[in-house]
Structure 1
Amino acid sequence: MSAIFGIFHRDGRPVNPEELARMQAALAHRGPDGAGAWHDGPAGLGQLMLHTTPESLNEHLPLLSRDGRLALTADARLDNRDELIAALDLRDRPAARLADSELILAAYESWGERCVERLLGDFAFAVWDRREQQLFCARDHMGVKPFYYYCSDRLVAFASEIKGLLALPQVPRRLNEVCVADHLALLFEDPCITFYQDIVRLPAATTLLVTAAQQRTQRYWTLDPTYELRLGSDQEYAEAFRAIFSEAVRCRLASAYPVGALLSGGLDSSSITCTARDLLGAQGRDPLHTFSAVFPDLPESERRRIDERVFRDTVLASGAFVAHEIRADQLSPMGDLARMHWHQDEAFFGPNLYIHWALHGAARQQGVRVLLDGTDGDTTVSHGWERLAELARRGRWWQLYQQADACARHYRSSRWWFIAQLGFAPLVPEPVTAAWQTLRGRRQPPWGDRSVIHPDFARRIGLAERVAAFSRPTRNPWRSARQKHAAALSSPLLSSTLELADKVAAGCGIEARYPFFDRRLIEFCLSLPVEQKLHNGWDRIVMRRAMEGVLPPVVQWRKIKANLSPNFQLRLLACERERLEAVLHEHVPLVADFVDLAALRQAYQQYAGQPEQFNSEAIMVYTVANLALWLHSKPLTRDLSRPEAPVSYTEEPQPLANAP
């Protein structure tokens, strides 16, 4: 992942080159292949380069238009290059010599702010218009590329990471207690919030326009839950999925360096891996590197829930891979926490992030710069469980019974559980559910019945109202299955997850790419009839059919997913008991205003007594510990009246302790 950064003095003051130098130094780890900065009057832009695509090898940023009116900085990989080259009439130049940033600048010159509607791929960019004295910024459809900014009456600054903004003396470092509450409640629905009151995220599929007098954000893409694709047969749907999915993978193989893929043995990662293997082979390119986590030393009872080696090995046995693995059962979930906090700039919720650190470290050692990742394939394709509620809502009782019975046979559960919990329960209005829980004495705070959030803090923040406001749209019992699917695909949780992953990849000099977040694939999967998502007990049925002849059948038709929680629960306590207990005692003042300490200590005692049994308690303890240790490392203020001096972020990241 490359980095971008920039400044616009809204009061007209000229940019001091030292300001850009501070930001560049803070983000240096993201640009091993060079850096550039430009400034003119009140505006300045910068970029740090990580070469990945062949076209990026000759890319130099910031980029100026021929007439000098526009300046652009970008972290981008475009998937519709040929289409843009034709539309922009750039065919007189060799495509291999046209960098993606040049296409974006040409698109902005031709179409202005609406250029983002014509771009396909992963991007974050900013354009300074000298004539209009305005800054225009944009982020890709799903938020793969990060974009943070600070905006006051006098200054707007942006960067790929928060540390780039904190390098400026003008940017305050005030703790955002609303974000603290969200973190403790595991609420990830605010698309803009950060742990810093004055720093915000630009949401996915959103543009930002700033002039001296105005600031405006605008969403440029939304999903359409009303459109349904109608084809002639199951086979036609499967063939269409396979074509779009293969194209999504092909676009993400563009690289001048070795390519890798994360491979667990699940349906999503295996589909990406096998498709990429076939495409690379057809292009005569080097074989695909795969990176997997294994857990051979876990107790047998726990290993059964997590071990996917039989599926992974079946994929690898199909040939043409260079396989690598890490021993995740020898890692600590908090072993690299200080380094993680340095890269993330915030407390974070990522119980399995330590595994990703190690996998990316292994990829770095192999010279891989592009790593394919199957994150959230479930969300894109959809398990299709909403079909049961839709059948119940339409009164199709016999079909509901048939589908529930098939699900029960697949998952060795009760058909009546599927009918009650997935068929009828979603149709009950939330007020009715709440009233029933109250009558039974089981009414709990909306953020969970085992939370350790201090009640006074929750009331002061208005957490109950905040949770209700974000969850209200999802509680409409009359939403169609497609509307629910669209809501899941639009959740800010996805961009939050991508931001975490981006910083992991950047810390290892890698660009992560996500075929399941291809806009074309997302729109296609959303448009599918619900019976193409769940049929006769098989979830993600269209994808399973599409992978015929690509995946080994044992993987194509596997029924269960692995659960990584056993390794997290056991390794956290085995490796970090001393540090967890230090949080309960030495770091208590840092979180005392936010956390019910008695509830926290009780949760820890339950978890410490039987670590394999108390997953919710382990998560609570980890979440508080992550927050407390981050607060301990940061000179933040809760005084709303004054900014703090900038903290230095210029030290070079050291090798990750968990990296092999």
Structure 2
Amino acid sequence: MSGIVGIYHRDGAPIERAFLKSLADFLAYRGPDSRECWVDGSVGLGHAMLRTTHESLNERQPASLDERFWITADARLDARAELLQELKQRGREAQPGAPDSELILHAYAAWGLACVDHLRGDFSFGIWDARNRQLVCARDHFGIKPFYYAQLGEAFIFSNTLNCIRIHPAVSGRLNDLAISDFLLFDMIREPGATSFADIQRLAPAHILVCNEDSVSVHRYWKLPVSAPIHHKRPSECVEQFRGLLDRAVADRLRTSSVGVFMSGGLDSPTVAASAQRILAGNGPDFSVRAYTEVFENLIPHEEGPYAGLVAEALRVPIAFQVSDETGLWKYLDHQNHDWPEPSHLPCSDGGLAQMRQVAARNRVALTGFGGDPALSCLLSVHFLQLLKKWQFGRTLADAIRYLTAEGRFSRLYVRTRWQRWFASKSQVPHYPVWLNPGLEKRLDLRGRWEALTGATVQNESARPVAYEAIADPTWAALFERYDSTVTGVPVEVRHPFFDLQLIGFLLALPALPWCSDKELLREAARGILPDAVRLRPKSPLPADPLIALLQRPESAWVDWFEADPELGRYVERRSVPKVFGEKDPWSAWIHLRPLSLNFWLRSKAAAG
């Protein structure tokens, strides 16, 4: 989670070292261990170091290879041994203990722009190629590391921190109307490459950028592949292959002596925690895992605490609970001096800031269970329909029997959930807001945009199309950015083992039955590791919505009478926003509170100048 920044004057104008140093100093909250700059005429790179792996203990950046290539990177690579072997075959000798930034430099020296085809992991970097006089930047496959840039006449500036770029005097505060509209429609920016500011762009996941004296070009280097369906002769083979891939994914994301795990009482994050504990326990008593769980005690009925406690007891790891009952509606804004770089719709949450700070007191690395749900998602109706269309009646019957006879199945039939999904009322799905500024709405054709993007699907021929579509969803990159220091301001690197390329490929190739429906694979892999009370626990949503619970409280009446920031009128017709105090429909409350979230952000932006 180090901070990176770079400036390239394409017209040959010299870089002002003092200004570059000020940008690197601004990034100190991301990288408190060291800050360094490198300048060579019209190009300069800066870095603020956060050491999170064994290999980074003596690392220095910006780093050089043969005085020809220079890099500033926020990177953590997977499959380092394989990369070292590939480099050796290309005649490049890199040491096994070399930091990840050095391996990226060797990869660029070996393959040039094609280096990204050989890199796996989480990365965001800029490389100056002195011989070819070009700046090469790249962002990882799933967008776990952010990357922003601005073209300011002949000046090109990049960073993994949006507010760092905003410091440049040539960057205006002018907002991107389409990006702000996207936030009001979707909670996130759907326009590829856009940020909330007109002068600043976001490098999309799996993209590489090349900047030289003549041009700036961006192209995609990877697309989520369609995995060929796989079948195992024996169930044990599938379980063992999954355990091996998961342990490798977790091990690649550890490489440190202690780690925190954001752990619920479900299956995904406890499975990650069990793997981390298994790996670190084998390294000796100085290596440790600690779990962190968000709970509600009074606001709503909530069972995550007791179940997470059972997991922690079984794994013999300490657990810390973050009680969120008193968060309130935007209450965190009253007592936390936090500068959100872009609008964020978190009416009844602090965006995980309190929990991140809790983790930071003991750890620099935290793991999540994100990715288990989408990678294993499936529709049984589609699965059986496909079998019947192929006249595979025997397999249809066998799969039905296998599904119904799974351990604990009759406590996990989800009849009510399926009924609600099939016969959901129109109020239980997202709807188009009535309060958008009419002029903006017409100019940007926002209704047409909402209809096109709301119903958009990713066409694919994978084993389970719904899972492929869920993993390819752009929402993930937006979520990852929320856990990055550019948003949290906390020097903790959050890693997501289920988004390992090999593991994702394996999971997307599995058939719906027996492994994916109801996450049967995780349940089998957890046998003898997690308590049966957790392993066989039915998957269920929260019994109540914290936002709806807060809206019933008298102290929440103010939400209908907020004072609009002068700039809000560009986007929202304030008088058309319905009252939400006392609202009981989750989607209506969520949608009609978006203008208030934007209003808070506009006010904070104005206050910060």
Match of 2:545 among 528, 547, 566: 566
Tell me which amino acid in the other structure corresponds to 1:86: Q
Distance 1:343 1:547, change over 3 A: farther
Q: How far off is 1:172 after superposition?
A: 2.1
Residue in 2 aligned with 1:376? 371
User: Superposed, which structure 2 residues align to 1:454-465 within 5 Å?
Assistant: 454-465=437-448
Distance, in Å, in 1 between the alignment partners of 2:163 and 2:336 is 13
Offset of residue 595 of structure 1: 2.3
Say which of 346, 349, 354 aligns to 2:345: 349
Give the drift of 1:225: 2.1
Q: 1:568 to 1:174 in 2, by over 3 A?
A: same
- Alignment of 1:134 with 2:134, yes or no, is yes
Give 3-state SS (helix, strand or coil) of 1:321's partner.
coil
Matched letter for residue 510 of structure 1? V
Question: In 2, distance between residues paired with 1:239 and 1:118?
Answer: 27
Between 113-122 and 466-475, the greater mean CA deviation after superposition? 466-475
Q: Report the CA distance between 1:593 and its aligned residue.
A: 3.5
In the other structure, the counterpart of 1:111 is: 111
- Counterpart of 1:593? 570
Match of 2:600 among 618, 626, 629: 629
Whether 1:359 and 2:330 are equivalent positions in the alignment is no
- Deviations along 1:374-398, one digit per CA (max 9) or x if unpaired, are 1232113x2212x423433564598
Report how far residue 53 of structure 1 moved.
0.8
TM (norm. structure 1) is 0.82
Instruction: State the Cα distance separating 1:33 from its structure 2 match.
Output: 0.4
Letter of the aligned partner of 2:529 in structure 1? V
Distance 1:4 1:323, change over 3 A: same
Contact 1:590 1:631 in 2 (8 A): yes
Is the aligned partner of 1:314 residue 2:315?
no
Q: Please state whether the residue corresponding to 2:350 is helix, strand or coil.
A: helix
Q: Is the 2:527–2:535 Cα contact (8 Å) retained in structure 1?
A: yes
Aligned pair partner of 2:508 in 510, 519, 526: 526
Cα distance in structure 2, aligned partners of 1:588 and 1:404 = 59
Residue 609 (structure 1) shift: 2.5
Cα distance in 2, alignment partners of residues 415 and 53 from structure 1? 43
**Mean Cα displacement is larger for which, 200-209 or 616-625?**
616-625
Q: Counterpart of 1:389 in structure 2: which amino acid? A: V
Q: Is 2:163 aligned against 1:167?
A: no
Give the conservation status (yes or no) of the 8 Å contact 1:79–1:121: yes
* 1:31 alignment partner in structure 2: 31
Aligned-pair distance for 1:335? Answer: 3.0
Q: Which runs of 4+ in 1 moved over 6 A?
A: 90-93, 338-341
Distance 1:19 1:587, change over 3 A: same
- What is the alpha-carbon distance in structure 1 between the residues aligned to residue 295 and residue 437 of structure 2? 38
Preserved CA contact (<8 Å) 2:347 2:597:
no
Instruction: Give the equivalent residue in structure 2 for 1:84.
Output: 83
| Paired position in structure 2 for 1:512 | 494
Q: Does structure 2 conserve the Cα–Cα contact (< 8 Å) formed by 1:35 and 1:49?
A: yes
Report SS of the residue matched to 2:412.
helix
CA distance in 2, matches of 1:533, 1:451: 43
After TM superposition, give the deviation of residue 268 of structure 1 in Å. Answer: 0.9
Q: Is the 8 A contact 1:150 1:158 kept in 2?
A: yes
**Separation (CA, whole Å) in 1 of partners of 2:269 and 2:204:** 27
Aligned partners of 1:514 and 1:475: how far apart in 2? 23
Do the aligned residues in 1 keep the contact of 2:462 with 2:468 (CA within 8 Å)? Answer: no
Q: CA deviation at 1:333?
A: 4.9
Q: Deviations over 1:45-71 (max 9, x none)?
A: 1110111111111010001122x2211
Matched, 1:335 2:331: yes
Cα deviation, residue 524, structure 1:
1.1
Q: Cα deviations across residues 442-475 of structure 1 (Å, max 9, x unaligned)? A: 8x9x961555434443222211232344356418
Distance 1:505 1:464, change over 3 A: closer
Contact 1:289 1:321 in 2 (8 A): yes
8 Å contact 1:408–1:418 — kept in the other structure? no
2:236 equivalent in structure 1 = 235
Match of 2:415 among 413, 416, 419: 413
Q: CA RMSD in A?
A: 3.2
1:421 CA drift (Å): 6.6
Q: Does 1:392 align with 2:385?
A: yes
Q: Deviations over 1:473-517 (max 9, x none)?
A: 4186x9666333222212211001100111378522211111111
Q: Deviations over 1:541-578 (max 9, x none)?
A: 22222222222222122112342863333347759737
Checking the alignment, whether the CA contact within 8 Å between 2:30 and 2:485 is kept in structure 1 is no
Tell me: CA distance 1:138–1:355, structure 2 relative to 1, closer, same or farther (3 Å).
closer
Distance of 2:5 and 2:129 partners within structure 1: 16
Matched, 1:292 2:293: yes
Q: Taking structure 1 as reference, are residues 197 and 390 closer, same or farther at Cα in structure 2, changes over 3 Å only? A: farther
1:429 is matched with which residue?
none
Q: How far apart, in 2, do the equivalents of 1:61 and 1:412 lie?
A: 53
The DSSP-based 3-state class of the residue aligned with 1:142 is coil
SS of the residue 2:457 aligns to: helix
Relative to structure 2, which stretch is displaced further, 128-137 or 560-569? 560-569
Change (3 A) 1:166 1:579: farther
Q: Per the alignment, do residues 340 and 499 of structure 1 end up closer, same or farther by CA in structure 2, a change over 3 Å counting?
A: farther
Structure 1 segments unaligned to the other structure (5+ residues): 423-436, 637-646, 649-660
In 2, the alpha carbon distance for the partners of 1:307 and 1:504 equals 32
After TM superposition, the structure 1 = structure 2 runs for residues 649-660 of structure 1, keeping only pairs within 5 Å, are: none
User: How many angstroms does 1:627 deviate by?
Assistant: 0.6
Q: Which residue of 2 aligns with 1:199?
A: 200
- Aligned-pair distance for 1:21? 2.5
Kindly indicate whether residue 220 of structure 2 is the aligned counterpart of residue 223 of structure 1: no
Counterpart contact for 1:187–1:467, Cα < 8 Å? no
Asked if 1:553 corresponds to 2:532, the answer is: yes
Bigger drift between 585-594 and 128-137 goes to: 585-594
Distance 1:56 1:393 in 2: 50
The residue that corresponds to 2:283 in the other structure is: 283
Contact 2:136 2:211 in 1 (8 A): yes
Identity %: 31
Q: In 2, distance between residues paired with 1:416 and 1:325?
A: 32
- Give the aligned partner of residue 582 of structure 2: 609
Native 8 Å contact 2:77 2:122 kept in 1: yes
CA distance 1:93–1:200, shift in 2 (3 Å): closer
In the alignment, structure 2 segments of 5+ residues that lack a partner are: none
Q: What amino acid sits opposite 2:598 in the alignment?
A: L
Letter in 1 for 2:510: L
| Distance in 2 between residues matched to 1:353 and 1:375, nearest whole Å | 18
SS in 1 for 2:51: coil
Q: Secondary structure at the match of 1:528?
A: coil
1:410–1:319 distance in 2 versus 1, CA, 3 Å: closer
Q: Does the aligned pair in 2 maintain the 1:405–1:415 contact within 8 Å?
A: no
* 1:499 maps to amino acid: E
The two structures have a TM-score, normalised by structure 2, of: 0.89
In the alignment, is residue 494 of structure 1 matched against residue 476 of structure 2? Answer: yes
CA 1:469 to 1:562, structure 2 compared with 1: closer, same or farther past 3 Å? Answer: closer
Q: Post-superposition shift, 1:262? A: 1.1
2:207–2:219 CA contact under 8 A, matched in 1: yes
* 2:123 paired residue number: 123
Which deviates more from structure 2 when the two are superposed, residues 215-224 or residues 336-345?
A: 336-345
Q: CA deviation at 1:540?
A: 1.9
Contact 1:388 1:403 in 2 (8 A): no
Note the alpha carbon deviations across 1:593-643, whole angstroms, 9 max, x for none.
32243442x332xxx225xx232233234422111111112249xxxxxxx
Does the Cα contact within 8 Å between 1:452 and 1:620 map onto a contact in 2? no
Structure-2 separation of matches of 1:525 and 1:340 = 40
Q: CA deviation at 1:533?
A: 4.5
| Contact 2:14 2:42 (C-alpha < 8 Å) held by counterparts | yes
Given the alignment, which residue of 580, 583, 586 partners 2:559?
A: 580
SS in 1 for 2:325: helix
